[in-house]
Amino acid sequence: MLGNFSYCNPAKLYFGDQSLDYLNTELPKYGKNVVLIYGGGSIKKNGIYDDVIKILEAQGKNVAEIAGVMPNPTLAKLYEGIEIARKHQADLLLAVGGGSVCDYAKGKSTDWMVHMLGQAVGAYTNATHGMTLAAVSLPYYRHILPYGLPKFKRFAIEVWKVNPEGKTDEEIAEEGLKAMEDWMKELGLAMKISELGATKDMIDGIADATLLLEGGYKVLKREEVVAILKESL
């Protein structure tokens, strides 16, 4: 036993055009050392970076930066950020950007590969991104399930209230995905990319158009993408 302790790791998100207005209210709640986290540099092009730096300087903050957070942040990138935050003795991690940047600031190596599959299908079918995600998600999740088994097990128990008693981790995870599948069908979502207009002849082209991301539970090879797409037909 390590003894008794209390652990709190809060995250607060501000979204929208007026998000920066809240910085002046939030920053005084934390110490002087701030680590600013952002992605590929779009915040520098659109001027948001300069606005954030001005606010941080006006508040007297000592700023370090973690730049270049990619979609699907890798563990290597996560460890790089941990080292920077430790050296800076960070009092606040300030993420400015989208979902991957925010997840990175929470210490998560995320898996966005399903979105790459969905986008490629959408490019060939002109279907909405939500529908393409619905059509490819279950074949993709079942493909990567062995590599992210603890998360899929937790997903099944916490979200779908799967009873884990007397079941293996694999059985629990599969039952969770089955519950998700039933729910998606109840909503009337497209469950196959063929429902969106995709054909067998398109598979190779869709696979070529799919951006392969690092990080996540498993880095896919092209042949795995093809297999997932065929399973999605």
Tens of pLDDT, residue by residue over 186-200, are 999 999 999 999 999
Structural domain ending residue among the three candidates 105, 125, 149: 105
Confidence of residue 217 (pLDDT cuts 50, 70, 90): confident
Cα–Cα distances (Å) from 172 to 111, 142, 165, 180, in that order, read 21, 13, 9, 13
Query: Is 220 inside any structural domain?
Result: yes
- How many domains does one find in the chain? 2
Structural domain ending residue among the three candidates 105, 140, 162: 105
Same domain for 77 and 56: yes
Average the pLDDT over 6-22 and give the result.
Answer: 79
Query: Is 16 inside any structural domain?
Result: no
The predicted-structure confidence for 127-142, as pLDDT tens digits, reads as follows 999 999 999 999 999 9
Same domain for 119 and 147: yes
Q: Strand 62-66's sheet: what is its strand order? A: 62-66, 33-37, 92-95
Structural domain ending residue among the three candidates 67, 86, 105: 105
pLDDT value, residue 153: 95
Q: Which of 53, 52, 84 lies closest to 68 in space, CA to CA?
A: 84
Q: State the chain's maximal CA–CA distance in angstroms.
A: 61
- Of 29 and 111, the structure prediction assigns the larger pLDDT to 29
pLDDT value, residue 6: 60
Average pLDDT value over all residues in the chain:
91
What DSSP letter does each residue of 112-128 carry, written as one string? -HHHHHHHHHHHHH---
Confidence of residue 108 (pLDDT cuts 50, 70, 90): low
Going by their DSSP bridges, the two strands 62-66 and 92-95 should be labelled as unpaired
Average the pLDDT over 175-187 and give the result.
Answer: 96
Average the pLDDT over 26-36 and give the result.
Answer: 94
Average the pLDDT over 210-230 and give the result.
Answer: 91
Query: Is 15 inside any structural domain?
Result: no
Q: Given a cut of 60, is residue 2 above it in pLDDT?
A: no
Q: Given a cut of 70, is residue 4 above it in pLDDT?
A: no
Same domain for 139 and 90: no
Domain extent, residue 90, equals 31-105
Between CA 156 and CA 22 the distance in angstroms is: 36
Q: Given a cut of 60, is residue 148 above it in pLDDT?
A: yes
Q: Given a cut of 70, is residue 7 above it in pLDDT?
A: no
Same domain for 120 and 70: no
